[in-house]
């Protein structure tokens, strides 16, 4: 199959319902004219993958935080290749651009008066005093007791000098992320959430951040779609039936979409695989890989390689992370199929790179992932190679350190597919050419 090499441009931006855009692409409301820094993508992506794996190994570096009221087991660090959606919050509605994330449960945004600190964001910071529908959640509310599972909080009674998660009887959330720098702390509250002019959710529970910082920049917060009671998926269950779908565009200079409800599926044909629950961190969406093929030829990978620790699908990890045995087989077959192209220096963690200077098109072998079902998913050409610079691309997969490590099915491999999360039905589907 052929992959055209594109430069960033504005021409492919188009309006879709609940438009989904790449954080660093020209269609983003945060775009400042700077070219995307792919090296930074990879650094942030590696940090996120490392943190996700720490949750499954039992390692919890966040417990080293000194002087905090609680110790926090967070889900990850901010990813480099994340996608954004714009929603409305409050009455009257204020538009906010949030990172959309299937690996986080809590939806939050920075809030005035930023009692301690707020990082720099592009839009005006949400001011709850200007909304007639805002209300803090009390510590005695059952909703307050739902916070630990949604934010990964663990009570450390030896460091608490006041009632847990409370300030003057108001419920407080504390979410810290795996890079050990990024965090958001504030009031757990309810507000009117507007997804479209006809899709409004009253009394939506979210985090109103009064102390936020770290590596966050530009966007106003995060939209949580993980498997937990405080996620948007569960809070909108009566309206949308625990079902949503998205399509990540084939390039960062085009747009995709995020939709909710079973009637929202756009692809003509969708193949489904069961959702599996991965131990230790049940908020993630697990799927079961049973094989990989390159150019139609199945790779010789023992089935236990994927069943050892399992696999999650993640909207915020860019590069798919595979156990060493699986990655080695994939790399070998891919290199063999690409011998006519000149190899280039690695771009850590990517070790199979090619110099395409002077090329406008490259032919790559079809890579097929087989999931439990069984179903076979042929990756889009845009989901095979990662552009490091205008003349250099790399195989968009990386190896973990051990075959017992969790696998992560990243967002670059999801590009151009409609990915359907039928959470109520316990299954995830893939529909080819889903963005068109």
Q: Where are the domains of the chain?
A: 9-259, 266-431
Q: Are 210 and 109 in contact (CB under 8 A)?
A: no
Start-to-end CA distance of the chain, whole Å, equals: 19
Nearest to 198 by CA among 244, 260, 255: 260
The C-alpha atoms of residue 414 and residue 433 are separated, in whole angstroms, by: 11
CA separation for the pair 248, 419 (Å, rounded): 9
Do residues 320 and 405 make contact, with C-beta atoms less than 8 angstroms apart? no
Give the pLDDT score at 366: 96
CATH entry 2.40.70.10 includes domain 9-259 = yes
Q: Which residues are CB-contacts of 157 (< 8 A; sequence separation ≥ 6)?
A: none
CA nearest 161: which of 73, 70, 66?
70
Q: Residue 239: phi, psi to the nearest 5? A: -85, -45
Burial of 300 (0-12, 13-18, 19+ CB in 10 A): exposed
Structure tokens at 348: 């850590």
Active site residues: 101, 314
Domains 9-259 and 266-431 share a fold: yes
Return the H-helix or E-strand segment holding 150: helix 147-151
Q: Which CATH superfamily is domain 266-431 in?
A: Acid Proteases (2.40.70.10)
Whole-number pLDDT of residue 157: 28
The predicted pLDDT at position 403 comes to 92
Tokens standing for residue 271: 């193949």
**H-helix or E-strand containing 239?**
helix 237-240
Residue 198 has a pLDDT of 84
Three-class SS of residue 64? helix
- Euclidean distance between CA atoms 3 and 60, whole angstroms: 41
Task: Please give the chain's pLDDT, 436 residues, in tens.
Answer: 544 443 333 334 433 267 777 776 767 766 666 655 666 666 666 666 665 665 555 443 333 222 222 222 222 334 455 789 999 999 999 999 999 999 889 999 999 999 999 999 999 999 999 999 999 999 999 988 878 655 654 333 233 333 347 888 899 998 887 666 788 999 999 999 999 888 899 999 999 999 999 888 889 999 999 999 999 999 999 999 999 999 998 887 788 899 898 766 777 799 999 999 876 678 899 999 999 999 999 999 998 999 988 999 999 888 999 999 999 999 999 999 999 999 999 998 899 999 988 777 788 999 999 999 999 999 998 899 988 887 889 999 999 888 988 899 999 999 999 999 999 999 999 999 888 7
Give this prediction's pTM. Answer: 0.85
């Amino acid at each position: 199959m052929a992959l055209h090499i594109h430069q960033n441009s504005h021409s492919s931006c188009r309006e879709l319902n609940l438009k989904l855009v790449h954080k660093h692409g020209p269609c983003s409301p945060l775009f400042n004219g700077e070219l995307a820094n792919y090296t930074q993508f990879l650094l942030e992506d590696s940090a996120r993958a490392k943190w996700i794996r720490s949750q499954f190994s039992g390692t919890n570096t966040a417990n080293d935080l000194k002087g905090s009221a609680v110790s926090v087991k967070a889900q990850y660090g901010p990813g480099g290749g994340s996608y954004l959606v714009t929603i409305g919050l409050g009455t009257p509605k204020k538009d906010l651009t949030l990172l959309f994330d299937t690996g986080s449960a809590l939806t939050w945004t920075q809030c005035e008066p930023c009692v301690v600190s707020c990082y720099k964001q592009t839009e005006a910071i949400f001011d709850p005093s200007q909304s007639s529908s805002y209300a803090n959640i009390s510590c005695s509310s059952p909703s307050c007791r739902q916070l630990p599972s949604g934010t990964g909080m663990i009570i450390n009674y030896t460091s608490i000098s006041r009632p847990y998660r409370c300030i003057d009887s108001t419920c407080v959330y504390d979410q810290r992320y795996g890079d050990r720098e990024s965090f958001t702390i504030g009031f757990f509250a309810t507000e009117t959430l507007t997804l479209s002019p006809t899709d409004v959710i009253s009394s939506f529970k979210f985090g109103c951040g009064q102390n936020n910082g770290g590596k966050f920049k530009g966007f106003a917060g995060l939209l949580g779609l993980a498997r937990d009671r405080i996620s948007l998926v569960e809070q909108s269950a009566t309206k949308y039936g625990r079902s949503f779908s998205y399509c990540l565009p084939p390039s960062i200079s085009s747009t995709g979409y995020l939709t909710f409800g079973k009637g929202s599926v756009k692809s003509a044909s969708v193949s489904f695989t069961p959702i599996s629950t991965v131990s230790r961190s049940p908020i993630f969406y697990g799927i079961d890989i049973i094989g990989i093929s390159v150019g139609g030829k199945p790779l010789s990978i023992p089935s236990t390689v994927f069943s050892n620790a399992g696999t999650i699908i993640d909207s915020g990890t860019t590069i798919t992370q595979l156990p060493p045995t699986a990655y080695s087989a994939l790399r070998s077959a891919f290199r063999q199929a690409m011998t006519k192209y000149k190899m280039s220096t690695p771009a850590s963690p990517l070790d199979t790179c090619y110099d395409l200077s002077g090329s406008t098109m490259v032919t790559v072998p079809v890579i097929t992932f087989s999931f439990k079902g069984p179903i076979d998913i042929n990756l889009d050409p845009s989901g095979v190679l990662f552009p490091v610079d205008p003349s250099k691309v790399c195989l968009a997969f990386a190896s973990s350190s051990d075959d017992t490590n969790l696998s992560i099915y990243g967002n670059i491999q999801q590009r151009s597919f409609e990915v359907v999360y039928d959470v109520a039905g316990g299954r995830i589907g893939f529909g080819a050419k889903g963005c068109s």
